[in-house]
Structure 1
Amino acid sequence: MTRSIAHQTIAELGGPGSVLVRQRRDHAELDRLIQRLDGAQGTDQEEVLMRLDRLVFSHAFAEEAVLWPVVRRVLPDGEALTLRIEQEHQEVNELVSALEEGGLDDPGRPARLARLVEVLREDVRDEEDLLLPQLQEAVGVAELRSLGRRWALVSRIAPTRPHPTVSRRPPGNAASALPLSLLDRTRDLVDTLTRRAPARLAPVGRAVSAGLASVAGVVERVPLARRGDREPTSR
Structure 2
Amino acid sequence: MTPTIAEQSAADLGGEGSILLRQRRDHAELDRLMNAYLAADTTETSDTTDAIDSYRERLWQDIVQLVFSHAFAEETVLWPVLRRVSPAGEDLTARVEEEHQAINDLLAQVEKADPDDPRRRAWIEDAFTLVRQDIRDEEDELLPRLRDALGDRQLRRLGAAWEAVRRTAPTRPHPAVPRRPPGNAVLGVALSGFDRLRDLARARGPSARRAGLSAGVPVVAAGAAVLVWRAVVRRGTRCRRVAARPGSKR
| Structure 2: segments with no counterpart, 5+ residues | 41-51, 205-250
Q: What residue is the counterpart of 1:68 in the other structure? A: 79
Whole-angstrom distance in 2 between the partners of 1:111 and 1:142: 43
Contact kept? 2:2, 2:147, Cα under 8 Å: no
- Give the C-alpha shift of residue 191 in structure 1: 2.4
Q: Which stretch shifts more, 171-180 or 70-79? A: 171-180
Contact 1:72–1:78 (8 Å) recurs in 2:
yes
Q: Does residue 27 of structure 2 align to residue 27 of structure 1?
A: yes
The one of 85, 92, 104 aligned to 2:103: 92
Cross-structure match for 2:168: 157
What are the residue-to-residue correspondences of 1:197-212 with 2, within 5 Å? none
Partner deviation per Cα, 1:49-77 (whole Å, 9 max, x = no partner): 11011111111011000000000011111
- Residue equivalent to 1:59: 70
Query: How far apart, in 2, do the equivalents of 1:175 and 1:100 lie?
Result: 24
Contiguous gaps of at least 5 residues in structure 1: 194-235
> Does the 8 Å contact 2:177/2:188 carry over to 1?
no
What corresponds to 1:47 in structure 2?
58
Name the CA distance, whole Å, in 1 between partners of 2:75 and 2:33: 22
Q: Could you tell me which residue of structure 1 aligns to residue 245 of structure 2?
A: none
Aligned residues: 193
Contact 1:66 1:150 in 2 (8 A): yes
Q: Report the 3-state secondary structure (helix = DSSP H, G, I; strand = E; otherwise coil) of the residue aligned with 1:38.
A: helix
Pairwise CA distance, 1:42? 2.5
Native 8 Å contact 1:61 1:159 kept in 2 = yes
Q: Aligned residues: percent identity?
A: 54
SS in 1 for 2:203: helix
- Which residue in the other structure is 1:171 paired with? 182
Matched, 1:5 2:16: no
Name the CA distance, whole Å, in 1 between partners of 2:197 and 2:7: 38
User: What displacement does 1:139 show?
Assistant: 1.4
| Superposed displacement of residue 143, structure 1 | 0.9
User: Post-superposition shift, 1:44?
Assistant: 2.1
Cα displacement (A) at 1:36: 1.1
Change (3 A) 1:104 1:39: farther
Residue 155 (structure 1) shift: 0.5
Once the two structures are TM-superposed, the CA of residue 39 in structure 1 deviates from its matched residue by: 3.4
- Mapped pair 1:36 → 2:36: yes
The structure whose Rg is larger is 2
Give distance in 2, aligned partners of 1:78 and 1:163.
25
